Amino acid sequence: MTAEDYKRVWAECLDVIKDTLGPENRRAFDTWFLPIVPLQLDGSTLIVQVPSQFFYEYLEEHYIDLLRRVIRMQLGPAGMLRYNVVMDQSIRTSPIVTTLPSQSRQSTRNPLMDMPLSSGGDNQREIPNPFVIPGLNKQRVVSQLSPNFTLENFVEGDCNRLARSAGYAVAEKPGITSFNPLLLHSNVGLGKTHLANAIGVKTKELHPDKTVLYVSSEQFMQQYAEAGRSGNTNDFIHFYELIDVLIIDDIQFWSGKGPKTQEAFFHIFNYLHQHNCQIIITSDKAPGELQGLEPRLLSRLKWGLSADLQAPDVETRKAILRQKLQNDGIEMSDDVIEYIAYNINTNVRELEGALISLIAQSSLNRKQITLELTKQMIDKYVQSSVREVTIDYIQKVVCDYLDLPVEAIQNTSRKREIVQARQLSMYFAKKITKSSLAVIGMQCGNKDHATVLHACKTIENLRQTDRYMRNMVEELEKKLSE
Ligand code: ADP
Ligand code: MG
């Protein structure tokens, strides 16, 4: 390799990074990796330029494992990455930071922790196949858990309370509770992987002698196929039978494929279950909707507890944002947090994506994170996915307009202004959202559908007869469509 190869090396790194992050993290890729400029190759050290100190710190904090992996893949075990940080147009010539030497600050960790969490793509050949390591014993099994996803930083809300506490119970007494298997299911981006991983981390914390293993269903399937090709199927099965707490992520991936893989898992499942070992499974479908899975495997999944994760309500969304900010040591004003929480309601991954883009924007352009900047950014961000006005958001706009706390909608007060705020919220919810009258009633102070209907009629009548009300409805309409 010559010094001229730095561009090609970085381009290849980018390919792997993009592949590893996957399409669902495309925004993170665009935000954090595309702006990196390769500068030079110095032996096995690649020197790159990053736009700011914050940028560098963010990479180090969130992507160090990934970067280390790709750099070593490209440049061998001595591969290093060095950052140059742009300082107000001029570049700091002496690199201020070096990282990723082969004995870096993480060297005290189990070296096998460097195994990629995700599988697939080229990096597959880098994964030391744990079940063919000679002299394997339980302590050597690499858990593949990410230390970043813990129960402590999994924010609790109505949306996830059952699943979270079941997870805690399982971590305290793995294999012994009736939650075996524990099946976590939800739509994408609502925390299945985080929670499953967190249960593993907590189990390790409480029971260091237990062997915990996290694998994606895809990785499991690939390992099985690989074992078959090299005549190691028995080793494969025995390896999995050593595990005390087995976490299989995204089992819906097996739907309609790999009957042999499913059969192998079926045997492993039975063995572990009989030996009071814990099985944790995630799926983006409820067990009843998991088509294309072997029926006998499906019936096993129903033995334990199936807990779902719902989309978080606005308060939980705010709490999640605060938590992420605190984690990154970044301050943001409440109105900025509220704006994001009210406007991004699809899933937690999108919520995080929006936050990260905002932080990156402000850092790249050296702008303060103001409400104005947030509005610009978030509006652009949600443009692509049709922006949906939620009942929460309507309540907020109405209450802000009437200068009432938004909680007032939920209390039982019959004070005129509060009743009016409730009725206006119902009226707009009926008009703008696709929610049923029953859902609108439930969210606006736990009323029934008849109350909602009555509210809509009342507001409509007043709008036609009362100038003050007409004015108010028009202004609110304008605010809601902004
Ligand atoms: P899924 O596996 O269901 O698609 P993930 O577990 O990957 O979802 O979650 C997507 C992102 O949202 C992750 O970064 C995760 O940390 C975050 N997240 C989801 N739920 C919560 C929560 N309750 N508290 C904190 N972060 C959460
Ligand atoms: Mg997941």
Residues 226, 357, single domain; the answer is: no
List of residues 6+ apart from 448 with CB closer than 8 A: 438, 441
Answer whether 194 contacts ligand 1 (Cβ < 6 A): yes
| 370 and 278 within one domain | no
Query: Rounded CA gap, 207 and 143, in Å?
Result: 13
* pLDDT per residue as tens, the chain (482 positions): 676 789 999 999 999 999 988 887 777 788 789 889 999 998 888 988 887 777 777 788 788 889 998 998 889 888 888 888 765 433 333 333 333 333 332 322 222 223 333 333 333 222 233 343 333 444 467 899 999 999 999 999 999 999 999 999 999 999 999 999 999 999 999 999 999 999 999 999 999 999 999 999 999 999 999 999 999 898 899 899 989 999 999 999 998 888 999 999 999 999 999 999 999 999 999 888 888 898 999 999 988 999 999 999 999 999 999 999 998 888 899 999 999 999 888 889 989 988 988 988 888 778 888 999 898 888 877 765 556 688 988 999 999 999 999 999 988 888 999 999 999 999 999 998 878 888 899 899 999 999 999 999 999 999 999 999 999 999 999 988 87
Q: Is residue 79 classed as helix, strand or coil in its secondary structure?
A: coil
Task: Assess whether the C-beta atom of 192 lies below 6 angstroms from ligand 1.
Answer: yes
Structure-block tokens of residue 52: 């700011």
Closest approach atom of ligand 1 to CA 348: 12
Residues 173 and 302 in one domain: yes
**Diameter of the chain by CA atoms?**
85
> Which residue's C-alpha comes closest to atom 18 of ligand 1?
191
Nearest CA to ligand 1 atom 9: 191
Q: Is the CB of 155 under 6 A from ligand 1?
A: yes
Q: Tell me which ligand sits closest to the C-alpha of residue 24.
A: 1
In a domain, 149, yes or no: no
User: Ligand nearest 317 Cα, by number?
Assistant: 1
Residue after which a domain boundary falls, among 36, 68, 94: 94
CATH of the domain at 405: 1.10.1750.10
The answer to whether position 291 is within a domain reads yes
Question: 282: domain range?
Answer: 161-308
d(CA 286, CA 307): 9
pTM of the entire structure?
0.62
Instruction: Let me know whether 280 and 414 are in one domain.
Output: no
Dihedral sign, CA of 473, 474, 478, 481?
Answer: positive
Choose one of 52, 73, 94: the last residue of a domain.
94
Total number of domains constituting the chain: 4
Query: Are 456 and 412 in a shared domain?
Result: yes
Residues 293 and 353 in one domain: no
Domain end, chosen from 328, 347, 382, is at 382
Question: Quick one: 216 and 328 in the same domain?
Answer: no
Q: Do the Cβ atoms of 402 and 468 come closer than 8 Å?
A: no
CATH number of the domain that residue 214 is part of: 3.40.50.300
Are 406 and 343 contained in the same domain?
Answer: no
Nearest CA, atom 11, ligand 1: 349
Q: Which ligand is nearest to the CA of 323?
A: 1
Buried b / exposed e over 408-438, threshold 16 CB at 10 Å, is bbeeeeeeeebebbbbbbbbbbbebbebebe
Distance 326 CA to ligand 2 centre (A): 23
Do residues 405 and 322 both lie within one domain? Answer: no
Q: What's the 471 CA to ligand 1 centre distance in angstroms?
A: 42
Residue 349 near ligand 1, beta carbon < 6 Å: yes
Domain co-membership, 257 together with 353: no
Evaluate whether residue 115 is within a structural domain: no
- Side chain identity, residue 324: K
Residue 251 lies in a domain: yes
Which CATH number is 20's domain given?
3.30.300.180
Q: Say if residue 29 is in the same domain as residue 79.
A: yes
Whether residue 360 sits in one domain with residue 237:
no
